[in-house]
Chain A
């Protein structure tokens, strides 16, 4: 068989088992812990930001006086800038990326395609430790003179050069992102190779679960576009440390100097694919889970996979819509606007497919299903609000307002977060061999839905009313005086959202420590390959490499006679 590979013994010591592990499942859990830790840090930062926006000049309760003793607990303006910079950075690169891509990518890809491990376990291990190093560098930047980076997560020069940010914080930020880029590229090389060469015999590309499709496309985008960001931040480091002039402009209309706008181009050539890098795994997970819990095959699975591929390709040529206000040439502007709009065709197709999947199903509202349905709702809102920002004239008004913040939080934060939770509840038994509490999970879901819709819809409202981003105190402006109550509402929603995450943390830890091992290897009754083996998955996953005989969504087949309403991918498709 050509499928035997990378044989490594089951580890025996604590270090080889849990720290320097080559096992994709352990690395996935490492990424999960890492991501949840940073999710907590980033979430705390969000609360500090929200508090400042709703109650400017008031001390943050309880923690405030500990964190900011010299201002009696009030967040100072320079710290505020640091907070929103690091909130964005942490949530995108240190929370979503490790959870969705690091944890689920590592965990699901080999299990779902019937492989014993990743193609390069060593590279996989390095990928985590590089990410760890990067996280340390980022956290370290908070404790140096002048503090961490404070130029926004986009870190546009010249604010991010020495002109706008003295001290080493911004340099360490760049370094951290660069190291994380290396880590993610390593992961991407691994994922791409694994999916191409380790699919179980009989598994064609369209027999892969859509989760794997999403993760695979993500890996491709990562491998292609992370180096672009890498080049950008590297030159930014040169500008800061060695005194080159890549992004420093001279006086107007002098030639031979650098150009700050060029960084924006480079940043968004990477940055626009990045938003799809984050959302594609969530789309994949939703597409699978909707089918599993509706007990019927995914509607138009092939079309969904192809739509995701189309979006992946389109995502590389629309980045200019982030830069309309820098006044590119009209022709370029029109081109980017039109290309941006074409993204709605594949999006509409997989929305139709998602609804088609639950149409005439037999829906079981387990927590993963609730979260998946939640994603359809919030991603609908997020996608539709994108239209206002894709058209140039409305973007002139809405650019850099809270409308943008609301839009990308709906798409990137709300959808991806719900996707992460859906995946966590769904694969928890496979990861740890225990079931999380359903009631708590449902409380967590409804609380989160109320919280995040309150937050992000509120943001859309104040954004439409003209409130711009990254303001320490919005009420210094006349026209924002009326927005106090909405801002308060958003902050209360954020506190609600935060409080309900504690339910999740409790559920997660309690189940992990006190939960009873599952008796059923396949609690959700689905047929993809990871459920053909015991829970939690044993060291080598599959005793024998399975042979795939049917697709991943064989549910509700009326010809099934064995009392089950689903069949495993290893079984021959039952036909009448």
Chain B
């Protein structure tokens, strides 16, 4: 272990990146399957939304999109500050990320409430199934991502500023950005188009 500690660290980082890439491919396949189903239902129904539903208001979805975008941005900044060793700013942006993540989940509940007010219930056909089912799955992943963020909590203390935490943070951040992209696609497909 005397020679090339640095090399070991680089190799560890490479391994983690590789594994995270494979993991993200897996998650991407899960969401790709959902989008494939959406495409099939969409092409099978000449009128969309079907069964006389109106499109839902875009206010809340857009708001949640903005929130997840900013949380991603804050997480990215957290990472940069962590690399620079600026521990004060690390905790500042880290907490901001957490707050925005929670806000995202909160908005999710508002969206579901709004859907019910609009008369779109769970059992009202495929349109409702897609909106509810897909957003549930996404939200479950957001909760997972949030737990991942909490898993990085110790790093806001300077004594944990080590290599392992940098890998951990970078993996959680990748997952979080991935969820942001998925959310963008979901908004685009099931709310806008």
Chain A positions within 8 Å of B, measured between CB atoms, are 1-5, 119-120, 185, 188-190, 192-193, 196-197, 223-228, 230-232, 234-235, 238-239, 242-246, 255-259, 262, 265-266, 269
Contacts and interface: CB of A to CB of B under 8 A. Distances in A.
A2 B26 contact: no
A232 B122 contact: no
Given A197-B11, A266-B36, 8 more contacts: A188-B22, A192-B19, A223-B25, A226-B26, A227-B33, A230-B30, A256-B125, A259-B126
Given A119-B19, A223-B22, A231-B33, A2 B123 contact: no
B37 A243 contact: no
B26 A189 contact: yes
B114 interface: no
Given A225-B29, A232-B33, A262-B37, A189 B19 contact: yes
B129 A227 contact: no
Interface residues of B, number: 45
Contacts of B126: 245-246, 256-259
A246 B36 CA distance: 13
Contacts of A230: 30
B34 A231 contact: yes
B129 A258 contact: yes
A190 B18 CA distance: 10
Nearest to B140: A234
Contacts of B63: none
A1 B9 CA distance: 11
Interface in B40-71: 40-41, 44-47, 49-51
Contacts, number: 124
A257 B129 CA distance: 9
Nearest to B40: A262
Contact of A234 (B29, B41, B137): B137
B27 A189 contact: no
A475 to B, nearest CB: 41
B129 A256 contact: no
Contact of A255 (B4, B30, B33, B45): B45
Contacts of B7: 1-2
B175 interface: no
A101 B33 CA distance: 25
A189 B22 contact: yes
B100 interface: no
Given A193-B19, A256-B126, A259-B40, A227 B45 contact: no
Contacts of A224: 25-26, 29
29 contacts: A1-B4, A5-B12, A119-B19, A185-B23, A188-B22, A188-B26, A192-B18, A193-B18, A193-B22, A197-B14, A197-B15, A223-B22, A224-B26, A227-B27, A232-B33, A235-B133, A238-B129, A238-B132, A243-B122, A243-B123, A244-B129, A246-B129, A256-B45, A256-B125, A259-B41, A262-B37, A265-B40, A266-B33, A266-B36
Contacts of A225: 29
Nearest to A222: B26
Contacts of A192: 18-19, 22
Nearest to A120: B19
Given A227-B26, A255-B46, A1 B125 contact: no
Contacts of A231: 30-31, 33-34, 37, 137
Contact of B133 (A227, A246, A259): A246
A189 B23 contact: yes
A258 B12 CA distance: 46
B185 interface: no
B10 interface: yes
B142 interface: no
B136 A238 contact: yes
B44 A259 contact: yes
Given A235-B133, A244-B129, A255-B47, A266 B37 contact: yes
Contacts of A262: 37, 40-41
Contacts of B30: 227-228, 230-231
B19 to A, nearest CB: 5
A491 to B, nearest CB: 40
